[in-house]
Amino acid sequence: MITVSRKAHFNAAHRLYRKDWSDQKNAEVFGKCSNPNFHGHNYELIVSVTGNIDVETGFVIDMKVLKDLIKNKIENALDHKNLNIEVAEFKNLNPTAENIAVVIWNKLRPHIDASQKLEVVLYETPRNFVSYSGVH
């Protein structure tokens, strides 16, 4: 087994809050990330696919295929968007880095061979990042 990875990025705004909580409780839990006027991040994304090397091509996955998949399914859907307002998956889901990573994984998983492992690493800031490899 070998892992290949592709980096990508997108810029997006969001607000961390729960509709069923008061403004005060949202501020206590989410701090400045609960700003009603939203705030943005320059997200860095690393998508990794682990599998066997194909004997005919020498690839685990064609990197152009992976590049286009990330562009079409993730960057086009999230880049320069207000996640809370413009992205259907976050209409009722708090767009934390954790939840964004799971949404990205779910968007990509159907397009990756079932025999291969998929991992998503999402950097919200250079020092804060999450990784998700699916339910075990």
**Active-site amino acid positions:** 33, 80, 124
If you count them, how many residues does the chain have? 136
Residue 56, exposed/middle/buried by CB under 10 A (0-12, 13-18, 19+)? Answer: exposed
By the 8 A CB rule, do 104 and 10 touch? Answer: no
Q: Encode 68-90: b = buried (16+ Cβ within 10 Å), e = exposed.
A: ebbeeebbebbeebebbeebebb
Residues 95, 102, 53: CA angle, nearest 5 degrees: 150
